[in-house]
Amino acid sequence: GSGDEKELRAPICCILGHVDAGKTKLLDCIRRTKVQQGEAGGITQQIGTTYLPVENIRERTSLKAEVTVKVPGLLVIDTPGHESFSKMRSRGSSLCDIAVVVVDITRGLEKQTIESLDLLKRHNVRFIVALNKVDRLYGWKPCHNAPIAKALKNQSVDVQMEYRWRLTEVVTQFKENGFNTALYYENKKMKHVFNIVPTSAKSCEGIPDLLLLLVRWVPEIMIEKLVYDDTVECTVLEVNEVKDLGATIDVVLINGVLHQGDQVIVCTEQGPVTTVIKDLLTPHPMKELKAKGIYKHHKELRAAQGVKIVARGLQHAMAGTSLVVVKAGDDLQQCEAVAMQE
Ligand code: GTP
Ligand code: MG
Ligand code: NA
């Protein structure tokens, strides 16, 4: 670098799609976790955030040392696909930089896929399509973790034919909903045509392709948006009662730094609540914030991150509202008014 290159923050990526398209399992594949198996009824019921450090992504994609990645990592937000959780999908899509819309190749576009596309259009968010469950194509030969082009080459003519017609079907469905899409490695107009990455969350084909698009291509198309900014931008995802800690809030820190001891304001139905950050917790990298377990403690945390905040008086904080930091010299009443407006 030239030294005066601006520091970038991790892109925030929201995973959206119809129930059971494979959103959580795709993340499990990336993280090497088993969150999906542990979910009640196999259904995601909360937003989950996971930080993927760039070193893990390099390892997952076998990136050569000389290939540069400009972002420090990826902050991924998993959302529920069940129809009753549309608020969480809306919240996720309103704060992300990029989305991954997961579509089951054997089912095509479904009700909540289309709802998700509407949300993304409304919030003006670009997306990548993960055309998932390619291993369900009859006769698929698994090629664990392989780039998708390599995995496809290994398949019989019959599998390749079924793959082509199902892909064409999905492209047509997107077209009917007003979106131009193409296989990413055949896409000559990436600025206007949305990329499709075929994936399997079972045998992990296509995962390297998806990760590379997220950390290499996304910064190319939205570098300005990803320039780190000191002004705190922070959204409350939910309130969580944690044993020994009391009511905590899970937030997405989009920009800026949070410190232990910061005076902050959260919104409740009864008005603003001003409190002081006692502790800042994150799960270990590649683990989900909502996963109960051992947290890492931080004196300060820099965006973008998923953070659990420990402080008094958080029990009535409202999901979807902003957390405001009171700086030295700020007028508290004015800050409280700002917090309630947002
Ligand atoms: P919700 O969060 O409830 O909306 O579902 P989801 O989109 O997170 O899907 P989930 O990861 O829960 O997967 C749903 C089911 O599909 C599970 O039984 C998974 O094992 C299965 N599944 C997901 N991805 C794949 C895949 O690529 N191939 C195969 N064969 N099964 C998959
Ligand atoms: Mg899920
Ligand atoms: Na599910």
CA of 176 to the centre of ligand 1 (A): 25
Residue 312's CB is within 10 A of a number of other CB atoms, namely 11
Write out residues with Cβ below 6 Å of ligand 1: 17, 19-25, 36, 42-44, 80-82, 102, 132-133, 135-136, 200-202
Q: Model confidence over 234-253: pLDDT tens digits?
A: 999 999 999 889 999 999 99
Q: Taking every pair of C-alpha atoms in the chain, what is the biggest distance, in angstroms?
A: 70
**Which residue among 14, 15, 16, 25 is best mutated to probe the pocket of ligand 1, counting the most ligand atoms within 8 A of its Cβ?**
25
The pLDDT of residue 329: 93
- Tell me what the pLDDT averaged over the chain comes to: 95
Name the closest ligand to CA 80. 1
CA of 115 to the centre of ligand 2 (A): 16
125 near 42, Cβ under 8 Å? no
Q: Which atom of ligand 1 is nearest to the CA of 112?
A: 4
The pLDDT of residue 43: 95
Its pTM stands at: 0.96
Q: Model confidence over 242-294: pLDDT tens digits?
A: 988 999 999 999 999 999 999 999 999 999 999 999 999 998 888 887 776 78
Please state, for a pLDDT cut of 70, what percent of the chain lies above it: 98
Q: Which atom of ligand 1 is nearest to the CA of 27?
A: 11
- Which amino acid is it at 174? F
The pLDDT of residue 4: 64
CA of 160 to the centre of ligand 1 (A): 22
**Which residue among 18, 20, 103 is best mutated to probe the pocket of ligand 1, counting the most ligand atoms within 8 A of its Cβ?**
20
Mean pLDDT of all residues in 309-313? 97
Q: Which atom of ligand 1 is nearest to the CA of 28?
A: 11
CA of 86 to the centre of ligand 1 (A): 19
CA of 133 to the centre of ligand 1 (A): 8
**What is the predicted ipTM?**
0.99
Q: Which atom of ligand 1 is nearest to the CA of 19?
A: 4
The pLDDT of residue 288: 83
CB-proximal residues (5 Å) to ion ligand 3: 20, 42-43
Q: Is 1 a residue whose pLDDT tops 70?
A: no
